[in-house]
Amino acid sequence: MKKLDRKVAIVSGSGRGIGRAIAMKLASEGAKVVVNDLDAAPAEQTVADIKAAGGQAMACAGSVTSDGFAETFVKTAIDGFGGLDIIINNAGYTWDNVIQKMTDEQWQSILDVHLTAPFRILRAAADYFRHQSKLEAEAGREVFRKVVNISSVAGTGGNAGQANYSAGKAGIIGLTKALSKEWGRYKVNVNAVAFGMIRTRLTEAPAGGDASIDVEGRKIKVGVNPDLLAMMERSIPLGRGGTPEEAAGSVYLLCTPESNYISGQTLICGGGLSL
């Protein structure tokens, strides 16, 4: 029997990168997964890959910042798979600048995706968690559910040029701690994972020059200069950046039954580096 058999998980931003690796990992351990991405095609591809590997999944494409998305995301899991046990708030991107050049739009957009969207998803799940916990308590059963919010070492220690991202990722740690105290009585473990340097499309600069991603019509520059990337990796005690699969492993740890007495904590997954 796999560790997450009969569990239902929703993973935001899971069509690509770390989110995809998290969805694949949870599914490989028995969870039924609702996959989300801003674009339908990557979400459907992750669903297809999970099914091809013998797992169960369905897609819920859309922007986590859109009005009403949180309720749709939660409802998809409950209606489609009969419940909700695990919430992974992973969706996000960076839009960097030094503070004197950062616009209000840059600031607010990053707070919206990294802090407000997770808040809305968790709020949308609150009634279901409370109701199920009451039923389980009346039946004399103790059933644990899991929330893992994704933070960053930029949130634990700050990072120059990322005032917006650092603020959002610090805020998600505060939300994690507050909700662990609110939801403890419902047997919900609420934790965070703060990633260090994980190699994804957001860090890999192409050999030919600059790269960008499209976020709801905005062209956002991504990628780190290869020389700077190499210098960053030399500062990591383990000697390299992490893989999406290694990042997913740290999230999975906080979804297992072994984490049932861990709540309100922030686990740094950074190869020994913490800012």
Q: Give the residue carrying structure tokens 């770390």.
A: 18
CA distance readout (Å), 246 to 34, 93, 145, 243, 269: 21, 19, 23, 5, 8
- How many angstroms separate the CA atoms of 224 and 215, rounded? 18
Catalytic residue list contains 252: no
Pull the structure tokens for residue 98.
């030094």
Q: Please give the Cα distance from 167 to 30 (Å, whole number).
A: 35
Strand pairing report for 266-269 and 188-195: parallel
Catalytic residue, chosen from 93, 128, 165, 261, is: 165
Q: Which residues contact 107 (CB under 8 A, 6 or more apart)?
A: 163, 164
Dist. CA 218–CA 144, nearest whole Å: 40
3 state DSSP class of 220: strand
107 sits in which H/E element: helix 104-111
Q: How far apart are CA 270 and CA 247, in angstroms?
A: 9
Contact 23, 34 (CB under 8 A): no
Catalytically annotated residues? 165
